[in-house]
Structure formats: structure tokens, C-alpha cells
Structure 1
Amino acid sequence: MRLGVIDIGSNTVHLLVVDAHVGGQPLPAASVKVPLRLVELLDGDGALSAEGERILTECIIQMSVRADELGVDDLVAFATSALRDAANSEAVLARLRTASGVALDVLPGQDEARLTFLAVRRWFGWSAGHLLALDIGGGSLEIAAGMHEDPDVVSSLPLGASRLNRDWFANDPPKRSEVTALRRYVRAQIAPVVSKLYVVGEPTRAVATSKTFRSLARIAGAEPYSRGPYVRRVLRRDALREISTRLCKMSAAERCDLPGVSADRAGQLAAGSVVASEALDLLNLDEVEICPWALREGIILRRLDWLTSA
């Protein structure tokens, strides 16, 4: 069965197509990305602008056509925090569905955390024991932990890299006072989650997903992703703290010269590094292992489960 998912994220609209069957690993067949930066198309009132809606509509239609060309049997489309939190979300969603013909849903933040956790659990398997999963997106930070495929603790916080860069950094590179203020805000947001995690116990394995964590690990010396998904990659807390301090002193243009940093993500990487660094510190994690699967794979895995059981 060929499955497709259109992920309308805060930074990128991404079509992922995989070939899957019961009991087998979903194998990537195609990947199409458009760096839309939806979070930057919101107006001063937090609503998606008319121009932003037009661009998004065209993008979804193009992705749907491409999915047909690729022979997708079942297509799922969902939006995460940028569209979820937009002031005019419901009206925009209704118009998008009508104009594109795509059954587009908005994924609640806690479901986003659960599905990312599912992907992490399936990738590492039961031998990973008690898992803790972190995912930094453009609009939110997801945290989930537990022993099973459905986590015992889930949390979605407004700590996405693009959102924080827009709201907290007025300068490039940011001023020291801006970085300090952001670190305090991030810690205040994450702190209430720490007590919930203590209840379920110390994790056997801590895992991180998302482009932000992958870029930070690459800067810290992890193998390039051209080596494939099966190479073990880790990001240590002590290295992350030093990297975050360095990134916050660099301009976006200077960050582009670092390994694993793309031009479309360089601007928000400093803010993302602050979130990553403070999360590992507050959660007392010496290191996190980078998982190649994340939310899109979780959506596909859950969809495959549903289709095969039906």
C-alpha cells in the first residue's frame, strides 16, 4: 500500500510518500518540501493573512496533484501549531478544504506529541524501555514519555524555534538581553512538565527528533545524514550548551556556513538551540539520541494500523 501524508508545519509543507505493508517497515518512496514559513504569514492579530491563505491553498493543491502522480492509495493531510493557533483557523480550514478538495485536519498539540512518540517507539523498539521523546518544531515543543506505544505523559508547549525567533529576537544576532530573557521564558514553560515526568520515573533512553535537533547534533560532530538513518547520532548536553552560546552570537548568514544548517532554518536555529539546551538541562539529560522518524512517520504508522485493522 502506498501511503502519503501532507504535513503543514510552521516552517515547511512536506509531502511524504511511503510504501508500507503489515509487519514491515514503511519505506520512503518520495519526499517533496516547500519552505512556506507559515508562522511568518500571520498578521499582527495572529490571523493567517489573505496572501498567506492563497499561497497555502496553491501549495496544498500542488501536493495533492503530486500525490496522485506518485500513485498514492491513501492520503492524509494535517496542520500543526501555526494554523492550529491562528486566530482565523476554523474559517481558513473550511476554505482550504473546499478549494483543494483535500480532507485537511488540525492536529492538537498533545496528539502531535503522542504520534511522534509512537514513531520513536516503533523505531527503537521495546528494548528501549522507558522512553522520553523531545521534538522542537517551528511553532511548538512536544514532550512525551512512557513505557508503551501510548505515552504516560504528553505536553505541547509554545516553544517552537520559528515562533520564538519572531517573538523574542529583534536583532540579528540577538542581543545578550534578548537571549537571557528567552532562556528564562523557556525554563518557566518547561518547569511544570518536569514534575509530571518524575512521577513516571527516569527514562531508559532519551530521544530527540526534528530538524532543529538534527542540525544541532550535526554541528556537534554527528555523522552527516547522507550516511543514512541507521548511523547512531547523539547530542550531549555539555556540547549543546557551548553550541547554543556560540549560535546566539552569530548572524543568520554566519550560521549558514555551519555543517547541517540550511539557509531556510539558519535564522531560527539560535532560538531553537535555547529551547534544546534548556530542555536537556531541566530534564537532567546528559545526552539525547537522534531519531530519524518523527511526526509524519507516526501519522503513517497510525494510519496503517487503522487501515489494516479495518
Structure 2
Amino acid sequence: MRIATIDVGTNTILMLIADISADGSLSVVRDEQVIARLGKGVDSLRRITPETFTRVLGFLDRYRTIAESCQVERMIAGGTSALRDAANSGDFVEFIRQKLGIEIEILSGQKEAELTYQGAVSEFLAGEDPRAFAVLDIGGGSTELTTGVGSTLVSKESLDLGCVRLTERCLKASPPGGSDLDEAASEVISWTGRLRPLAPETKLIGVAGTVTTLAAMDLDLKSYDSKRVSGHYISTESVNRFADIVRSMTIPQMLTRYPQIQEGRADIIFAGMMILRECLRQLGCRGIVASDRGVRYGMALDEFLRRSHKS
């Protein structure tokens, strides 16, 4: 079965096109991402702006064209934090349905957590006995920590804090001033303080752009390579070092020194690093393993299981 799954996130929209074999294994045909900033202004306005409607329509139209050219049998799209928060998310979903025929399901926080966990751990399960996993997903609008054993999700903690939200609230200037840094640090600590240390044997996996970008920076990649990024271990010391460096940089300086940072991510990457390093401190972890998988992989596996049970 060839399937396309689209993760309509607060900052990034990602599409996976994959062939799923009879045993549930995935063979990637295309893996696309674009920084669309769907959640721009949602934290303060609680609405998706008309300009964002038009901008995101263009990106999804391109994805639909790619999916059609790859002759997918099924296309699934799921929306996350920004669509849960925006008062006019229903209007946006209907707008996309009418224009493109793409049905976007607004995922509950619980469903998003389940899909993220399944997608992230899927590449670490083969050949291992069931072990404890934790998946940290620093999104644009929220941060989720899920824990489980093997492929079974056990718990979920959701923080109403993401890299776009923190940037818009506290870190508007680049580089940020001292009072803005203090405000941001206080905001991060107030949310992450509810996290509890993980058991020592737990494998902590990080998904989404903050962690994968840090992995690419740590590897000093000239261009993004998902095969090298996925599975790369980033120490807490490396996270702190990069955060201390980019904190004092302008966006042009950041992009010049670190080509691994996408232009549309440069203004929010420091916020993501602030959230990540405080999460690592609260969880008692010395580092994190990057994964290029997440909701879109979880959606593909979920659809395979749904079809398998029906047949």
C-alpha cells in the first residue's frame, strides 16, 4: 500500500509518502517538509490569519501534486497545536477541503502523542527486547513528553509551550535582550517544572526541528541528511554550547555560521534550545537521541493497523 501522510504543524508542514509492506515495514518514497508558520500569531490572536490561509494553501497544493504524481492510494492529514488553539480552525479545514479536497483531521493532544510516540520509536524497535522509551516533541505551539515500553504508550505530559509560542511571547528581538531572556527563562521553567526524572534505563528520543537541527549542527553537515541525523546522540553539553552561541547572534549571523539552520527556523531555534535544555535538566538526562520520524510516520503505521484489523 502506498500512502501519503501530512503533519500540519504549527511551524512546519511535513509529508511522508511511503510503501507499507504486509509486515508493516515502511519504505520511504518521498519525505518533504516546509516551514509554513501556520501558527503565526495564533498565541495572541487565537485565529489563523487570512494571509496564512493563502500561504498554507500553496504549500498543501504542492504536496497534493507530489502525492498524485507518486500515485498514492490514500492521503491522510492531521493538524496539531495551532489548529487546536485557533478559534477559526474549522474555517481553515473547510477552506482546504473545498480548494484541494484534502481532509485535515484536527488531532487531539492524546492522539498526537500516540502517533508521535509510535512514529519515533518505530526505528528503534527492531532486534531489541521491549525497553523503556521517552519521546520529547518540541513543536511550535506545544511540547509533549510521552513514555512507554516498546511500542506501547504508557503516559503523556503536554506543556502549552513551543518554540513559536515562546518566541512570540518573549524573544521578539534577535539577539534577545537581558529582560527578554529572563522572562523567557521564567516561562520555560514554570512549564517544565512539572516534568519528573526518567528512569536511568530509559532511551530519550527527540523529534521535530529543534532536535534534528541541533543534530545536523553537531554533525557539522553541509546539507541535511536524515539518515545521519536519525539516531545521532546529542549530549547536554552540546545543547548548552550551541544555545550559548546562538543566543548572542543575529539571524544573518546564525545562517552564515550554521548552514544547517533553515532560514524560516532561525528566529525560533534559540527558543527551542531553551526548552530542550531545561527539559533535559528536569528529566535528569545527559543527552538525547534525534529522530527524523514523528506524527507523519505514526499516521502511516496507524492506517496500516486499521486496515489490517478490518481485513
- TM-score norm. by structure 2 comes to 0.90
Distance in 1, Cα, partners of 2:181 & 2:109:
26
Aligned to 2:180: 178
1:78-114 Cα offsets, whole Å, 9 max, x none, are 1111222112122332333233222211112232222
Distance in 2, Cα, partners of 1:15 & 1:215:
18
Matched, 1:32 2:39: no
Equivalent position amino acid for 1:8 in 2:
V
Q: Which residue of the other structure, out of 142, 145, 165, is the alignment partner of 2:144? A: 142
Distance in 1, Cα, partners of 2:89 & 2:298:
24
1:219-265 Cα offsets, whole Å, 9 max, x none, are 33466753725874111112212221221111111111215212121
Q: Which runs of 5+ in 2 are unaligned?
A: none
Within a 5 Å distance, the mapping from 1:207-226 to structure 2 comes to 207-221=205-219, 225-226=224-225
Q: Cα gap change, 1:142/1:239 in structure 2, threshold over 3 Å: closer, same or farther?
A: same
Distance in 2, Cα, partners of 1:193 & 1:60:
35
Whether contact under 8 Å (2:215, 2:234) holds in the other structure is yes
SS of the residue corresponding to residue 45 of structure 2 reads: coil
Aligned to 2:300: 300
Equivalent position amino acid for 2:295 in 1:
L
Q: Cα gap change, 1:161/1:128 in structure 2, threshold over 3 Å: closer, same or farther?
A: farther
SS of the residue corresponding to residue 193 of structure 1 reads: coil
Q: Cα gap change, 1:263/1:62 in structure 2, threshold over 3 Å: closer, same or farther?
A: closer
Aligned to 1:161: 163
1:152-187 Cα offsets, whole Å, 9 max, x none, are 111222222122112211211011221222122112
Equivalent position amino acid for 1:85 in 2:
D
SS of the residue corresponding to residue 40 of structure 1 reads: coil
Q: CA RMSD in A?
A: 2.3
Equivalent position amino acid for 1:71 in 2:
Q
Aligned to 1:243: 242
1:41-100 Cα offsets, whole Å, 9 max, x none, are 649522111222233334333422331221000110111112221121223323332332
Distance in 2, Cα, partners of 1:269 & 1:260:
11
Q: Which runs of 5+ in 1 are unaligned?
A: none
Aligned to 1:80: 80
Equivalent position amino acid for 2:158 in 1:
S
Equivalent position amino acid for 1:61 in 2:
D
Q: Cα gap change, 1:182/1:149 in structure 2, threshold over 3 Å: closer, same or farther?
A: same
Aligned to 1:254: 253
- What is the aligned-residue identity percentage? 24
Q: Cα gap change, 1:233/1:222 in structure 2, threshold over 3 Å: closer, same or farther?
A: farther
Whether contact under 8 Å (1:116, 1:295) holds in the other structure is yes
Whether contact under 8 Å (1:240, 1:277) holds in the other structure is yes
Q: Which residue of the other structure, out of 189, 192, 196, is the alignment partner of 2:194? A: 192
Q: Cα gap change, 1:128/1:11 in structure 2, threshold over 3 Å: closer, same or farther?
A: same
